Amino acid sequence: MDRNVHTEPREKPKAIMPDPVSWPTPMPYLVSTTEGVSPGFQRLHWHRELEINYIRGGTGFYVINGVKYQLQAGDIILINGQDLHRAFETDHLVIDVHMFDPGMLAMEMRYDHDLLRPFREQGIQFTNLVNRDMPVYDELIAILLNMKEEMHVRAPSYASVIRAQLTRFLALVNRHGAISEGEPAPVKHRGIHALKELILTMELNLAYPWTLKELAELTHLSPSRFSALFQQAVGTSPLDYLIQLRLTQAVHLLESSDEKIIDIASECGFRNLSNFNRLFRQLFGVSPSEIRNQRTKKKQ
């Protein structure tokens, strides 16, 4: 590559940095309901915490470590710590998101070392999408709804109740959810670590005019092989994903700064303002100026 990618020296990135999680209580557990998928969660991300998603309504899909899962109302998705994932909405997707630090179950794991097998052995004995044919599936949904209610009300000893319910949920999935012989779980994409490095490089250099050849060189693959692997793992082409990253950053700057729209476009790698406006509206359904006007109204 004969052009400078970054104007200042920097160390080679080792991975995409994990998304931070803030706990609302001293217990390392939270539950929230999301309607639709914000741009931030359409980008590939990961976190150290474990995640259980219950699809309340609508449709969409997850891409987790290169495996695509279609989502519909009633589905339960398990996401392990460090799984690289992104979500998309197709029609009014509503999700209850449960996140927790596995350390909160340390006492229980002293007596049941297999409690976290549904996370630990994803791609081996378990899949991210919990099997709806399990005889206890309705009970799993009831447990998740009860945990959400306990967290909302926070009655005395709610933390103990949630921990007990979470333990039962995981024990039931461990007992009934393993893939039977002859039904292998999807194999995780083997280039996930390399993709974490590449995508962080893209995120740190959004304004750089990347070509497909240059991105492929960073992974030591031919452009065609790189494109195929990237499409498999991420669900979109490398350059289309780069555009999504740039537009997501543009939303952040529009909402958090007073920079001119033309300057934001340039900072995010768009040399042509009309092209920036067209792609922005195509992805978000509104123009950059509408996002800026919404921010102005909120400040008034």
- Give yes or no: residues 111 and 216 share one domain: no
Looking at the domain assignment, is residue 6 inside a domain?
A: no
168-188 pLDDT tens trace: 999 999 999 887 655 555 555
Looking at residue 179, its pLDDT comes to 79
Of 76, 91, 44, 50, the residue nearest 63 (C-alpha):
44
The predicted-structure confidence for 38-97, as pLDDT tens digits, reads as follows 666 666 777 788 999 999 999 998 888 778 889 999 999 999 887 888 888 888 999 999
- Does residue 21 sit within a domain? no
What pLDDT score does 14 carry?
Answer: 37
CATH code, domain carrying 159: 2.60.120.280
Together in a domain, 140 and 244: no
In this structure, the answer to whether residues 95 and 204 fall within a common structural domain is: no
> Is residue 293 assigned to a domain?
yes
The residue segments making up the domain with residue 120 are 29-177
Helix (H) or strand (E) holding 95: strand 85-100
- 92 vs 8: CA distance, rounded Å: 43
Pairwise CA distance, residues 23 & 226, whole Å: 38
Q: Give the pLDDT confidence score for residue 260 in this predicted structure.
A: 94
β-bridge partners, 95: 34, 55
5 domain residue, yes or no? no
**Does residue 214 form part of some domain?**
yes
* φ, ψ dihedrals at 59, nearest 5°: -140, 160
Instruction: Examine residue 262 and state whether it is found in any structural domain, yes or no.
Output: yes
> Which of these, 30, 58, 122, lies nearest to 85 by C-alpha position?
122
142 and 220, same structural domain? no
Whether residue 170 is found in the same domain as residue 221: no
Same domain, 151 and 46: yes
Q: Indicate the average pLDDT of the chain.
A: 84
Task: Specify the pTM.
Answer: 0.67
Residues 153 and 286 in one domain: no
Q: Does residue 96 sit in the same domain as residue 167?
A: yes
Of 123, 157, 177, the residue at which a domain comes to its end is 177
β-bridge pairing 50-64 and 67-72: antiparallel
Domains held by the chain: number = 2
**CA-angle at 80, arms to 76 and 85, nearest 5°:** 80
Question: Which segments in the chain show pLDDT lower than 70?
Answer: 1-20, 38-43, 180-193, 295-300
